[in-house]
Amino acid sequence: MKDCLSSPPLTVYPPACRMGDGAGSCAIVASPVSQPCEGAVIGDDYVRMLLHTIREHDAEKLALAQRIEDCVKPERAETQRLRRELAKKDQEIGKLQQDLSESCLMLQEERERANRLLHENTVLHAQAGDDRARIASLLRLRQQAKAAPAAASSEEDANADGRQQRQGRDRKQSSTPVAGQSGFGSPFHRKSSKSSNSFGGGGR
């Protein structure tokens, strides 16, 4: 009865080497397992052995699961930490992207303002050039206006001098005696007339 209940051991024979096809080959031959006896009753020892084996397997499984948990737990904690850091970095990236968008908008506004100021500066520079040309023209006109009265006064002075000179010459010509009248009016003529009168009186 016990022979039927106990499982026959597996018999392993030493490898038998045989030659075939020019090469040696070794094969392990195991004895066939005897079939259990029909109508055999499983005993308590066999059940206890199976239960012990199951408990050992469960213990090994629990130990293996604990080892896996011990190995996975730090990785899980690291994963959680990395996820928290990733969420924090995502928030920081979102904030930086928002700041970048605002900075780009401000830069665009400043660029438009700079272009507008450059255009206004160009217009003002052109107006300043026109104003300088207008001022230079006005200064030339003012100088010409100042020079015209001076030239007119100098011309009038020259004309007045010419008239005075002509008037002086005319006065000199009018005050000079005629050649026929100058002998009678001269002192020599008066003296000769007196001497002739004296001679005439003495003859009477």
Does residue 58 form part of some domain? yes
Which tokens sit at 33? 């397992």
Does residue 146 form part of some domain? no
Q: Which domain holds residue 116?
A: 44-121
Over residues 81-94, mean pLDDT: 95
Tell me the HSE value of 14 on the side-chain side, using a 13 A CA sphere: 1
Instruction: Specify the pLDDT at position 164.
Output: 74
pTM exceeds cut of 0.75: no
Does residue 137 form part of some domain? no
**pLDDT tens for each residue of 114-135:** 999 999 999 999 999 999 999 9
Does residue 1 form part of some domain? no
Over residues 32-59, mean pLDDT: 77
DSSP 189: H
